[in-house]
Amino acid sequence: MIIEKKEQLEALREGGKINKKILHDALKKVVPGVSTYSINEFVVKEMNKANVKPSFLGYDAGDGPYPYSTCISINYHLVHTLPSKKSIIKDGDLVTIDMGVLHKGFHTDTAFTIEVGSNNNYKHFLASGKKSLKNALKKAKAGNYTGDLSYEMQKAVEGGGYNVSVDLVGHGIGRKLHEPPQVLCYGKKGTGDLLVKNMALAVEVMYMVGSPKLTIGSDGFSLDTYDGSISAQFEHTLVVGEKCPEILV
């Protein structure tokens, strides 16, 4: 989406602020013994209080309508995992909360992965993903290409000794949750779609320790690492600027 009016940008800013706070508060609930279902229920409650709608609930990406308001993925579950009362978080798990907010007709999308507990077994792994997204966002300015962002994500993740997903992508966002252009997790500089001022994007890095090959999980929605290796996801929604992007969430 290309933002054309001040009111559209304000709606995205407001939605992004709400989305950021709910995600921040939900991550505090990620402790041993808690189910991913209960975290989803907390998010639903907070969205209702904020008078926003979940972007994910009922969204159909080809597998049927998604039945929850969040995707909460653990360890080898990379993305799109259904919250479940049977999915109990344990010390040492890597947990990703992925969520979207619909506010005044506009979507924002964000995700973050944390390690449960204080062991810091995956400190380097998580730092590589954060660095890759940070470097990619610096390239989100008018005149660059989606491949410039993709290149930075791939470079940092592979430089850390890991692999990016070759099947999943970031995306344009706005009135629809998923819009053109696609933003791959790998690529070459100067390739892909041209970035223009006021383009809204959801840029995300999805990566794993082992093979980038994925398989469908037992819940019918989750995309899991084929070899069972751990995985993570970091995502921000932004608006492309002349010199630097505005990070909405």
At residue 63, the pLDDT reads 79
| CA pair distance 22, 56, nearest whole angstrom | 15
Task: Tell me the CB-side half-sphere exposure of residue 35, using CA atoms within 13 A.
Answer: 10
At residue 119, the pLDDT reads 87
Token pair of 110 as six digits: 């964000």
CB 208 within 8 A of CB 167: no
Token pair of 147 as six digits: 């491949």
Query: What is the identity of the amino acid at 41?
Result: E
Name the strands in the sheet holding 214-216, side by side, starting at the edge strand that comes first in the sequence.
77-79, 223-225, 214-216
Token pair of 212 as six digits: 């980038």
In CATH, what is the architecture of 6-247? Alpha-Beta Complex (3.90)
Q: Could you read off the pLDDT tens digit of each residue along the chain, which spans 249 residues? A: 999 999 999 999 999 999 999 999 999 999 999 999 999 999 999 999 999 999 999 999 877 899 999 999 999 999 999 999 999 999 999 999 999 999 999 999 999 999 999 888 999 999 999 999 999 999 999 999 999 999 999 999 999 999 999 999 999 999 999 999 999 999 999 999 999 999 999 999 999 999 999 999 999 999 999 999 999 999 999 999 999 999 999
Q: Residue ranges of the domains in the chain? A: 6-247
CB 11 within 8 A of CB 200: no
| CA pair distance 73, 113, nearest whole angstrom | 9
Q: Who's near 113: CB < 8 A, 6+ residues apart?
A: 94, 95, 96, 126, 129, 232, 233, 234
CB 183 within 8 A of CB 171: yes
| CA pair distance 193, 198, nearest whole angstrom | 14
| CA pair distance 74, 93, nearest whole angstrom | 7
At residue 134, the pLDDT reads 98
Please name which of 201, 134, 214, 212 lies closest in space to residue 174, comparing C-alpha atoms: 201
| CA pair distance 114, 117, nearest whole angstrom | 9
At residue 118, the pLDDT reads 85
